[in-house]
Chain A
């Protein structure tokens, strides 16, 4: 990939992340229910995975050789659904039925109802273990697919995450990568108020994982981290992606109140204005950065 294509790719995916934020807020506003904070913080992570990294086939969602993705922080379902629709696993019109009766889009991901969802999740602490099961299956079947699990940092409070972390490194699993959406906010407040897991990187290292830290809103850094994680052949890698909860909407940023609340009409309109302005700002600043 040439330098120029790289820059085009980065610009395109950054714009996709902005659009994903718009779609996520539309879904939550329409349903008057859902989790905006952790969906907005994971926008770049999901866009880069689904629109660049993952080897999946929307026409054959159960393709045995596909890469697997487990949304351990299942409450970010809106962001996942936007990406699955973008890739063509189902019609975008389904997004309008998010959280409604008889919808294929449940409040938290349901592998039996939604094409492209590899595991039903929503109860925190379980996703990394599920990913290990998938990675072990690949090892047994000598398949080369890669397993990705996206965890929240509040989720690290769950002891089972560390059972899984110990297991994966002890068995030197290299076909699984954990990504932590490190937004420092959980439902009841900041992680530093509720249960600080700092120093997070040292904890993962102590559990035998290689740690890559990056800016979770930088497309470039995320793509680089994925490549580095897959290149590691001695054991599992965790990407600690520093993010901002509620990223892109001023009044939602770093505010625990927006973990699981839907915006009013006024708040929704304001959020749309801010996200449009950020697109305009990108347009004017980008050429300078490219030089």
Chain B
């Protein structure tokens, strides 16, 4: 741990502003929370605080982008993707404008503020939008890399940023390529597919599984869309049992995206760890993660379940196969 993901994001924005005059930043009266204020301090003339008016902000960003600017739009993720979600759809995604949307305080990370400020829907909303690229980052190093990658990418990008300090997982020199999964650990029995803060927990889970003699691969998906189909199919072949883990509703998020890939390309057993289609509540962050099942232990339990299901699934398929042969 060093700095929070949002602090790293703010600093990366400011250094990007240094290199590229086209970069402009918008915030809706929460710049001290999103840390876009770091950019404001360096480049006040390129920073626009629109007040508490998210819809207006999103369309202003579209107008700026249509004139060649690279706007980074900031506020809490639920406001960007729901309050201003239609403006994002019509005014940014549809005309494929070069706007970067940085969703702060994702998942349960604004824990004490409660369900109104938490967000377990942003992946589902943004990945259903045509033309959108959706990035979900796991630590401060990756957040900074993602800011640069998003700026270099021509088109709308959604960045999913965490509020709190997260364990260090990546190094400066690690490659960050939009659309490419990151293999943290190889394994042969089960594949853990985490995103965001669940990457650290999946690595813990892999250690716990190793103690039981289970070999778990950990494949991080930072680009939810376009998702790395090749890597997922490869690990479906290699292990036949997969577990997704995300700080998001299990519906429509990473779990949903991976299920789509498997269903279409390589049917395999899948368990999804995430928020079980419910609103959470106020409380200490760790307490929330525990209560809503976002822990290494929950991933271990899901992995065991996936392995058990794989056994019965394979024997059932074998039975069906033999049954067909008998009929012939």
Contact = CB atoms under 8 A, between A and B. Distances in A.
Contacts of A112: 95-96
Interface in B118-163: none
Given A122-B90, A140-B46, A134 B66 contact: yes
Interface in B84-142: 86-87, 90-91, 94-96
Contacts of B57: 129
B59 A126 contact: yes
Nearest to B26: A133
Contact of A130 (B60, B69, B86, B94): B60
A68 to B, nearest CB: 8
Interface string A112-138: 100000111011011101111111111
Nearest to A113: B95
Interface residues of A, number: 32
A163 B67 contact: no
Interface in B49-103: 50-51, 53, 55-69, 71, 86-87, 90-91, 94-96
Contacts of B71: 133
A130 B51 contact: no
B59 A134 contact: no
B63 A167 contact: no
Of the listed residues A118, A119, A138, A163, the one surrounded by the most CB atoms of chain B closer than 10 A to its CB is A163
A119 B60 CA distance: 12
B56 A119 contact: no
Nearest to A160: B55
Interface string A194-213: 00000000000000000000
A64 interface: yes
A134 B64 contact: yes
A111 B50 CA distance: 25
How many residues of B sit at the interface, in one of the four size bands?
Answer: 20 to 34
A140 B66 contact: no
Nearest to B55: A160
Given A133-B61, A140-B46, A163 B66 contact: no
Contacts of A133: 59-67, 71
B63 A140 contact: no
Given A64-B68, A112-B96, A123-B90, A137 B56 contact: no
B53 A163 contact: yes
A167 B68 contact: no
Contacts of B53: 160, 163, 166-167
B118 to A, nearest CB: 25
B63 A136 contact: yes
A130 B66 contact: yes
A242 to B, nearest CB: 27
A155 interface: no
B24 interface: yes
A120 B95 contact: yes
A164 interface: yes
B86 A163 contact: no
A111 B56 contact: no
A253 B45 CA distance: 48
Nearest to B61: A133
B95 A119 contact: yes
A140 B45 contact: yes
Contact of A129 (B45, B59, B68): B59
Contacts of A140: 24, 45-46, 69
Contacts of A134: 63-64, 66-67
Nearest to B71: A133
Contacts of A160: 53, 55-56, 59, 87
B94 A137 contact: no
Given A140-B24, A167-B50, A167-B53, A129 B95 contact: no
Nearest to A112: B95
A110 B95 contact: yes
Nearest to A135: B63
B43 to A, nearest CB: 11
Contacts of B62: 119, 129-130, 133
A141 B68 CA distance: 10
A4 B315 CA distance: 93
Contacts of A110: 94-95
B48 interface: yes
A129 B60 contact: yes
Given A140-B46, A160-B56, A126 B91 contact: yes
Nearest to B89: A123
Nearest to B56: A163
B155 to A, nearest CB: 12
Nearest to A119: B66
A130 B61 CA distance: 7
Interface string A231-270: 0000000000000000000000000000000000000000
B59 A137 contact: no
Interface of A: 64, 68, 70, 110-112, 118-120, 122-123, 125-127, 129-138, 140-141, 159-160, 163-164, 166-167
Given A129-B59, A130-B59, 16 more contacts: A64-B67, A68-B67, A110-B94, A119-B91, A120-B94, A123-B91, A129-B55, A130-B62, A130-B66, A132-B63, A133-B66, A134-B64, A135-B63, A160-B59, A163-B56, A167-B56
Can you list the 10 inter-chain pairs with the closest CB atoms, starting with the nearest?
Answer: A133-B63, A129-B59, A137-B67, A163-B56, A163-B53, A133-B60, A130-B63, A133-B64, A120-B95, A134-B63
